[in-house]
Amino acid sequence: MDREELQGVMAHELAHIRNYDVRYATLVGVLVGMIALVSDYFLRSTFFRMAGSRVRNLVGVLALGAAVALAAVAPISARLVQLAISRRREYLADASAVEITRNPLGLASALEKIDGDPRPVSVTNRATAHLYISNPIKRTSGDGLFDTHPPTRKRVAILRAMAGADVSDDDAEI
């Protein structure tokens, strides 16, 4: 990377610190954990209430069904919300990096170089993917619902639009 690209990357990472993203992610993680705990408590209390009762009425069966559904859906939906928030914070870090450097094209060029490397990072996994500036687990197609970062081409298109550069027709829809 040249000097402008390195400044863009460093400004992006400093923007995460300036925007208190670690604190924000911690709070979101705690909320996700609380949702999982509450749904698990509801499931267990309903199950034990029914097991202790000699009469299994329709209301108890419906409550158990609702508890099982909540226990299955709540953690998944909470995780999707967490990932969506993480992607939004990446856009904010990009914008803050532009504010710091006053050069959106440096970060855009750096993102293209980083994303253009076809080799996956061998020392990473899904648990540490959020620590990278671009998705280190290379895929062949599609924007993943479970990605921690927004698609690089969208980020680059937004950065180029900030610079007033021409944006291709495909990226103009973003």
Answering whether pTM is above 0.75, one says no
Q: For position 56, what pLDDT does the model report?
A: 62
Burial class (CB in 10 A: 0-12, 13-18, 19+), 162: middle
pLDDT digits (tens, 9 = 90+) for 80-129: 887 888 889 999 999 999 999 999 999 999 999 988 877 777 777 777 77
Q: Measure the CA–CA gap between 37 and 48, rounded to whole angstroms.
A: 16
Q: Which residues are catalytic?
A: 13
pLDDT digits (tens, 9 = 90+) for 142-155: 566 677 788 889 99
pLDDT digits (tens, 9 = 90+) for 48-94: 777 666 556 777 778 778 888 888 888 788 778 878 888 899 999 99
Q: Measure the CA–CA gap between 4 and 107, rounded to whole angstroms.
A: 8
Which residue has 């750096």 as its token pair? Answer: 110
Angle between helix 152-163 and 104-116 (nearest 10): 160
Residue 109 · residue 5 · CB < 8 Å: yes
Q: Which two tokens stand for residue 65?
A: 């069904």
Top pLDDT among 51 and 21 is at: 21
Centre a 10 Å sphere on the Cβ of residue 116 and count the other Cβ atoms it contains.
9
Q: For position 28, what pLDDT does the model report?
A: 83
Q: Measure the CA–CA gap between 43 and 98, rounded to whole angstroms.
A: 47
Q: Measure the CA–CA gap between 121 and 117, rounded to whole angstroms.
A: 10
Q: What is the mean pLDDT of residues 14-42?
A: 86
Where residue 172 falls among pLDDT bands split at 50, 70, 90?
very low
Where residue 18 falls among pLDDT bands split at 50, 70, 90?
very high
Q: For position 52, what pLDDT does the model report?
A: 65
**Nearest to 115, CA basis, from 3, 4, 5:** 5
